[in-house]
A and B are shown apart, each in its own frame.
Chain A
């Protein structure tokens, strides 16, 4: 019983990790309607900055949040302004996809140039120490990630529902030309939204860096699961990404223990396929949100 509980909690913690990586990706897709294939490299950039700040300045890794989150916001905003916005009139979504794939490749190679191919270990400052929660044990850092993922979902929800800028963002996401008629500067909302989405993955980077070794290809490692999570939850849905991530985390942990760790991915993708066959728009998605993709 304790084993089962422990595995369940492991799955939850893994889910929290997937969630915090995925939220920014689904946010950008939901508003700007661009699939950001450089999302994983944004994560990688954030982790390297966290590593630099922690090792060079000897600070606690979480202190890096003050630099990393604004830095990633700027990186996202610039990506939208300088890369995506000039392509938005292209009318063909594939052009934007190629642009973000290109950005991804460029960032990976830039990281190789600056940091080399070695692995960068961010000092853990106790975040890899286990703590007991009743009968089960989790890593301190994992618990913080889980809490941060919930806090982020709640914060974004409150912002979208109750602030005028949040309403403006939702208006642009739903009907771009009607939003313009309300006096909303649509391009500015896109820049802001891309920035917020990147800032979210910046927060993820700070929290993940002390637990996982940073390297130029770490983004690819996380982002494949993030894409599964985002599609499973319903493209553009923040609660969808959160619960989709928890489901994937649990499936991963349970099948890894009870079926065999080499079959984990078969189970995860198997369930993913079944859900998509039953509900093609994802768990929390609505058909209309996808209509522009057809």
Chain B
């Protein structure tokens, strides 16, 4: 469904990603794990069209999307829930969600979609008319996820959804990721929380210094010696 081939990308003259190739198949939950600074966020931003790769190609459902602008990528059905939530703080929660449905394919039936999404997030429903900035960190993360779902994407990408959240909220976030995947949406998730993420995901890629060093089924990765030593501390 989504395929990156030999991607080199970075900011300005610095290259962060080197020869990254990965694939996400329809209906899968795929994760990219790795330490801080390994290039996980850069990978997602490159797919989302916010960074143009220097080399390599990205295709989605058979179409070459390497050179598309960010808004065009969203139109194709790829939505990124960014790190740090990036809500529109002065706007109400409802307005944030409606903006999520800006994509042409999502605009027509956004009322019904809003109801569907809110049934997953009952707490968000109670906060609909509050300014997004007034919510707690956990609630804001729920709004960010709900906003991403409003676009009705074919593939939803999460960038560090557990960052800065209390442990109980973290487990709620992963429950929701599972729920979203259960409705048939493909998920690509980037995390530093390696153990929990591999428990949720079908397959994983390990990114170190901008290169994929390991890939495989989640169980296999959880039992891999290198992963156990470097990321799980076992």
List residues of A whose CB falls within 8 A of some B CB.
Answer: 164, 167-168, 170-171, 174-175, 177-186
Closest to A289 in B: B90
CB < 8 Å: which of B75, B89, B98 contacts A167?
B98
Q: Is the CB of B102 within 8 A of A164?
A: yes
Q: Is the CB of A167 within 8 A of B100?
A: no
Which residues of B89-122 are within 8 A (CB) of A?
89-91, 95, 98-100, 102-104, 107
What is the number of contacts between chain A and chain B, taking CB atoms within 8 Å? Answer: 65
Contacts A181-B74, A183-B151: A171 and B99 contacting too (C-beta < 8 A)?
A: yes
Q: Is the CB of A164 within 8 A of B98?
A: yes
Q: Is the CB of A182 within 8 A of B99?
A: yes
Residues on A with C-beta less than 8 A from B103 are 182-183
Q: Is the CB of A182 within 8 A of B87?
A: no
CA distance A98 to B107 in the complex (A): 40
CA distance A171 to B80 in the complex (A): 16
13 more A-B residue pairs beyond the given contacts A164-B98, A183-B71, with a C-beta to C-beta distance below 8 A: A168-B102, A170-B91, A170-B95, A174-B90, A174-B91, A178-B86, A179-B88, A180-B71, A181-B50, A181-B70, A182-B102, A183-B75, A184-B102
Closest to B153 in A: A183
Q: What's the dominant secondary structure at chain A's contact region?
A: helix
Bits for B169-213, please: 1 = Cβ < 8 Å to A, else 0. Answer: 000000000000000000000000000000000000000000000
Closest to B104 in A: A183
CA distance A63 to B50 in the complex (A): 46
CA distance A174 to B50 in the complex (A): 18
Residues on A with C-beta less than 8 A from B90 are 170, 174
CA distance A183 to B50 in the complex (A): 11
CA distance A177 to B41 in the complex (A): 14
Interface centre among A164, A183, A185 (most CB of B within 10 A): A183
Q: Is the CB of A185 within 8 A of B91?
A: no
| B82 at interface by CB-CB < 8 Å | yes
Q: Is the CB of B100 within 8 A of A182?
A: yes
CA distance A186 to B90 in the complex (A): 19
Determine the interface band of chain B, counting residues with CB < 8 A from chain A: 20 to 34
Residues on B with C-beta less than 8 A from A184 are 71, 99, 102
Bits for B113-134, please: 1 = Cβ < 8 Å to A, else 0. Answer: 0000000000000000000000
| B46 at interface by CB-CB < 8 Å | no
Q: Is the CB of A167 within 8 A of B70?
A: no
| B2 at interface by CB-CB < 8 Å | no
Residues on A with C-beta less than 8 A from B98 are 164, 167
Q: Is the CB of B88 within 8 A of A185?
A: no
Closest to B148 in A: A181
Q: Is the CB of B107 within 8 A of A164?
A: yes
A74 smallest CB distance to B (angstroms): 23
CA distance A175 to B90 in the complex (A): 10
CB < 8 Å: which of A175, A180, A183 contacts B88?
A175
| B228 at interface by CB-CB < 8 Å | no
Residues on B with C-beta less than 8 A from A174 are 88-91
Interface centre among B82, B88, B103 (most CB of A within 10 A): B88
Q: Is the CB of B102 within 8 A of A177?
A: no
Q: Is the CB of A186 within 8 A of B71?
A: yes
| B4 at interface by CB-CB < 8 Å | no
Closest to A183 in B: B74
List the 9 shortest-distance A-B pairs measured between CB atoms, nearest first. A183-B74, A178-B86, A180-B70, A183-B103, A185-B71, A174-B88, A182-B102, A183-B102, A183-B71
CA distance A168 to B103 in the complex (A): 11
A-B contact pairs, 29 of them (CB 8 A): A164-B98, A164-B102, A167-B95, A167-B99, A170-B88, A170-B90, A170-B91, A170-B95, A171-B91, A171-B99, A174-B88, A174-B89, A174-B90, A175-B88, A177-B82, A179-B88, A180-B69, A180-B71, A181-B48, A181-B70, A181-B74, A181-B80, A182-B99, A182-B100, A182-B147, A183-B70, A183-B79, A184-B102, A185-B69
